Chain A
Amino acid sequence: MTTIENSQPPGGKTSGALLRAMAAPVASALILLFARAVTAVRAVWSNDGPPTRQCVYFANHSSHGDFILIWTVLPPRLRGMTRPVAGAEYWLRSWLTRFIGRDVFNAVLIERERATRTEDPIDRMAQTLDGGASLILFPEGTRNQGDDPLLPFKSGIYHLARSRPDIEFVPVWISNLNRVMPKGEFVPVPLICTVSFGRPLRLRDGETKEPFLDRARSALLSLSPHAGEIP
């Protein structure tokens, strides 16, 4: 257990934890209902259907709701074993985000700030994979708010692949969610979103960082509905 997991206020541990454990399934059902009402979200699976094994889903990132959509379309069995990887400083800033991030989504909270962090994010993700969970990862590292469809990938996904070379990486393209809730808006506009899953890829023997990142990035881009079209 890390310092992040244990950073609960003293005293509120037993009754608070019980209350949160009871509230979490309710909150999860409400979030699923809200996500479906606003986006009528639909999964488009690759020809092989939904993944059957543990894997790392990696997706484009343009909105705070991205992992919620992936989580919504996953079949319940897969959803239960899938944990999003998210920035600790965002999700630990208030009791509500802490409750949603930790108790509802069971997020793997990593410290992004290199200077102040106490634990290596890659180690933490690898340990979570060893525990049997699947991960949702946004390799762009930050929300994409520009006109480029996809930012360059950070190298974390490569280091994770190298430390656990047997794990499959599934590209996931989320479309339209950036129109539902553009940057700086607080009222969502209901629009139909789709979440497209590609074929899994894996680190090849001897594959170095740049080729792997390129391959992963183009696998993800090829799922975008505007692939090959001039924007």
Chain B
Amino acid sequence: MNDPRSQLLALVIGIVVFLVIATVIGQVLQRRLSPDRTNAGIENLNARIFAWWVMVALLGIAFIAGRAGVIALFAFCSFAALREFVTLTRTRRADHWALAAAFFVVLPIQYYLVATDWYGLYAIFIPVYAFLLMPIVAVLRGDTERFLDRVAEVQWALMICVFCVSHVPALLTLQIPGYEGRNVLLIAFLVIVVQMSDVLQYVWGKIFGRHKIAPKLSPSKTVEGFVGGVASATLIGAALWWITPFSPLQAGLMALVITLMGFFGGLVMSAIKRDRGVKDWGHIVEGHGGLIDRLDSVIFSAPIFFHIVRYGWSLT
């Protein structure tokens, strides 16, 4: 099972079988319990399963297209996420150049740096260069009203939607001895663990949930769901050690870090939505919320996962 192709094939078959079973269960539940589509829980489950099919199809196409395909896919995700994020910011006319620069200069440069594997620059490009240059672009227009709020919001949008998201394809640039040609499986590991954690927290919460964990932020999240979801997603991560360069114990610990970051990332992003008075970030597919709603956990876990793997396993 050390051949990258057979590993990827085994993983793809496993995922497709899982999704087929999930789809059948979802449809049966809908026929039985929500024939008129009024049961929010079942509709949410089916929306998730549908989103998974889309995710698997897109990731599958990108993996076949190789590194360029994966980078293009996540660059597009960054673009769509940034479009959703900036829509909710309270920018003014004077921010126009800075916003145009965020979309058409900063985003392409960040992904170009990832594509050319220039780690020394892409790790600091947005936190240092964009951080200093964007407020300069904004200040040249001379509008001081809520200036700090405005530049902070634009910087946050770039960090979340471009910097963090770009660390998913950056996993492909790591050079891990004995793991050559299989880096794409690190992306699969990250995405599977995050998605399993999200849905298992939901399932555990629905079945055993009693105590709300963050009533003001996310009324549906419970302590029972959190503990059960994190524990079971960690076990799933450990069971997937064979697609990673980690031992089973290390894979479990990685999955634990990923699920914790994902959970708290979800809370942070809900706090922003509540502040802006919206339920979803956008409507990328009608009734399925925005892209950021589907990506929030990945956004928070990707850079941390990247840096732990890079520190512990990579040569570069």
- Contact flags (1/0) for B80-123 with A, using CB distance below 8 Å? 10111011000101001001100110000000000000000000
- Contact flags (1/0) for A180-199 with B, using CB distance below 8 Å? 00100101111110000000
**Pairs A–B under 8 Å by Cβ, sample size 16:** A40-B282, A40-B284, A42-B283, A182-B93, A182-B96, A185-B100, A187-B96, A187-B104, A189-B96, A189-B103, A190-B79, A190-B83, A190-B86, A190-B103, A191-B83, A192-B87
Question: Taking the nearest CB of chain A, how far is it from the CB of B218, in angstroms?
Answer: 23
Closest to A38 in B: B83
Partner of A192, one of B83, B93, B100, B104: B83
- Contact flags (1/0) for A189-213 with B, using CB distance below 8 Å? 1111000000000000000000000
A191 to B90, CA, bound (A): 12
A191 to B87, Cβ gap below 8 A?
A: yes
Given contacts A40-B282, A42-B283, A182-B93, contact A187 B83 (CB under 8 A): no
A90 to B80, CA, bound (A): 33
* Chain A residues with CB below 8 A from B93, complex form: 182
Which of A42, A176, A187, A191 has its CB near the most chain B CB atoms (within 10 A)?
A191
Q: Does A124 contact B (CB under 8 A)?
A: no
Question: Taking the nearest CB of chain B, how far is it from the CB of A182, in angstroms?
Answer: 5
- Contact-residue bracket for chain A: 10 to 19
B99 to A192, Cβ gap below 8 A?
A: no
B86 to A191, Cβ gap below 8 A?
A: yes
Question: Taking the nearest CB of chain A, how far is it from the CB of B158, in angstroms?
Answer: 13
* Chain B residues with CB below 8 A from A182, complex form: 93, 96
A40 to B96, Cβ gap below 8 A?
A: no
Question: Taking the nearest CB of chain B, how far is it from the CB of A145, in angstroms?
Answer: 10
Extra 5 A-B pairs, beta carbons < 8 Å, given A42-B286, A182-B96: A40-B283, A187-B100, A189-B103, A192-B84, A192-B87
Closest to B95 in A: A189
A86 to B87, CA, bound (A): 29
* Chain B residues with CB below 8 A from A40, complex form: 80, 83, 282-284
* Chain B residues with CB below 8 A from A42, complex form: 283, 286
Q: Which A132-180 residues have C-beta < 8 A from chain B?
A: 176, 179
Given contacts A40-B80, A176-B87, A187-B104, contact A192 B282 (CB under 8 A): yes
* Chain B residues with CB below 8 A from A176, complex form: 87
Question: Taking the nearest CB of chain B, how far is it from the CB of A79, in angstroms?
Answer: 19
- Which 3 A-B pairs have CB atoms at the shortest separation, nearest pair first? A192-B87, A189-B99, A190-B83
- Contact flags (1/0) for B23-37 with A, using CB distance below 8 Å? 000000000000000
A191 to B284, CA, bound (A): 13
A189 to B100, Cβ gap below 8 A?
A: yes
A189 to B282, CA, bound (A): 17
- Contact flags (1/0) for B144-177 with A, using CB distance below 8 Å? 0000000000000000000000000000000000
B96 to A185, Cβ gap below 8 A?
A: yes
Closest to A189 in B: B99
Question: Taking the nearest CB of chain A, how far is it from the CB of B151, in angstroms?
Answer: 15
* Chain A residues with CB below 8 A from B91, complex form: 179
